[in-house]
Amino acid sequence: MEPELRGEFIASLATPDQYHKNVGQVVTVSSEQLRYVRRKELQLRPFEIEVRDISICTAVTYKSDWSLSRVIFGGVALLLAAVIVVGLFVYGDDVQARAGQAAVAIIALVLVGYRYFVGGRRHSITFHLDDEKLRWKSRPGEYKTWTKAVEKILTFFRSKGLYGDAFDIAPP
């Protein structure tokens, strides 16, 4: 059972059916509270929802970063597509019968590689409380999905004077 959220709703960073994928992260922000998913050990339900008051929040930091593994995978796929294209130009006479299959492989590699190479961007918000830090990171490839929610959260915390340091990276 979820604790009731006090205050005006600001944004949700995960739906209840996604809580198991967001253990250890903030999932809902209101004008008075942060709701986050905490791991429980050796229980039937491996997580529980906990609430922290925003009054103990000292700062909020935002970072837009890239998932290194996805970028590397996309780069390798694009490099492999380039090697296949060069191989077709060099040894094209020897592989005439399979040129159609090679074209399909090149197109697939370019599409997948580009998607992974460019789609590895993600949001990262850290809520600094008196005694702990609560984080939320979007999944790689879901950058555009969460942009509005992140903007609402950062606007709210900027109005409270908790976000906007010179060290933060500007939101999208």
Are the C-beta atoms of residues 120 and 74 closer than 8 Å to each other? yes
Q: What is the CATH number of domain 9-66+120-159?
A: 2.30.29
- List the chain domain ranges: 9-66+120-159, 68-118
Residue 97, pLDDT above cutoff 70: no
Banded model confidence at residue 108, pLDDT cuts 50, 70, 90: confident
Tokens of 99: 């040129």
Tell me the whole-structure pTM to 2 decimals: 0.72
Q: What is the pLDDT of residues 7-50, one digit of tens each?
A: 888 998 888 888 888 888 899 899 889 988 888 777 777 788 88
Are the C-beta atoms of residues 67 and 118 closer than 8 Å to each other? no
Banded model confidence at residue 88, pLDDT cuts 50, 70, 90: confident
